[in-house]
Amino acid sequence: MPHVQLPQSDFQYLEKISFFQNYTSAQIIKLLHLFEIKKHNHHQTVFEEGEPAKYFYLIIDGYYKLSKYFHNFESGLLGENKKEIIISISRKNDFVGILLMTNPQSIYPVTMTSLGQSSVLQIPQQTYLTEWILNPDIVAHTQKFIYNRCQKFHFGLNLNHLSLEKKVIQFLSHFLIESSEALFLPITRKEIANLLGANCESVIRIMSSLEKKGIIKTKKGVIEIIYPPQLFELIQNKCF
């Protein structure tokens, strides 16, 4: 893979990414040695479960779902029909696969698939081993960065004790942590039901109720949160 030489304008773009904001251009060059920017269309596979973990990723735009697949024995078509279990949704500024990089024999435990038009920085394992892990300051910064992202993730998705209606509302609000404006989520109601471990028809009824209240719009696999303040108001009124 060739080393990508970026003009100064691209470095200015990379410096705006949260993780790199406190690094100089020279430091970014080292941290991104042999990296590539990968752009993906809707439902495009980045890597599959079981593949050798040769790269880690930093999401710079859009959303990605992390899933596991199991044989659907109920279908009677072993090997032809698999059941998807969505583990999580990753978004801008999230790392994917970085914790696998210390082991040269690691494999990806999940499948990573884009949701809508999305893009990532693809950074090779060799760069991690030579430029990231050997620098204590970078290791500390990376751990702190991942910890803060995980805190937000678990705060937003620790939903087991909630009713399904509250789970759906809290799930949608999770994506508004960093944005209080109208937001497009390229995810279907079926995928939300999958992630929440809920019945799809029940999720559809709840989403339809939110749509009637003017909080969201749904069409063609996209959910638009058109009135975030009312979504936050629902959270407060329902005593989360």
Average pLDDT over residues 57-73: 88
Q: Tell whether the model's pLDDT for residue 45 goes beyond 90.
A: yes
DSSP state of 59: E
CATH class of 8-155: mainly beta
| 63 strand-pairing partners | 91, 115
Q: What are phi and psi of 2, to 5 degrees?
A: -70, 150
**Token pair of 33, please?**
């040695």
Backbone CA torsion sign across 49, 55, 57, 62: negative
Average pLDDT over residues 183-190: 89
Q: Is the dihedral of CA 73, 79, 85, 87 positive or negative?
A: positive
Give the model's confidence band at 181: pLDDT under 50 very low, under 70 low, under 90 confident, else very high: low
Domain ranges of the chain: 8-155, 164-237
- Residue 33's SS3 state is coil
Nearest Cα to Cα of residue 34 among 6, 62, 64: 6
Strand partners, 105: none
* Statement: residue 20 has pLDDT above 70: yes
2: confidence class by pLDDT, cuts 50, 70, 90: very low
Q: Is 181 exposed, middle or buried (0-12, 13-18, 19+ CB in 10 A)?
A: exposed
Q: Give yes or no for a contact between 53 and 106, defined as CB atoms under 8 angstroms apart.
A: yes
Nearest CA to 109 out of 120, 99, 124, 123 is that of 99
* DSSP bridge partners of 183: 225
Terminal Cα distance for the chain, rounded: 49
Q: Which whole number is the average pLDDT over 45-73?
A: 92
CA distance 123 to 217: 36
For residue 1, what pLDDT is reported? 38
Tens digit of each residue's pLDDT (9 = 90 or more) over 113-168? 999 999 999 999 999 999 999 889 889 988 887 887 676 656 545 666 778 888 88
Which contiguous run of DSSP H or E holds residue 147?
helix 136-157
Report the pLDDT averaged over residues 63-71.
Answer: 91
pLDDT at 203 over 70: yes
> Is pLDDT above 50 for 240?
no
Q: Which residue has the higher pLDDT, 203 or 10?
A: 203
Q: Say yes or no: domain 164-237 is CATH 1.10.10.10.
A: yes
Q: Is the pLDDT of residue 49 over 80?
A: yes
- The pair phi, psi for residue 45, each rounded to 5°, is -80, 130
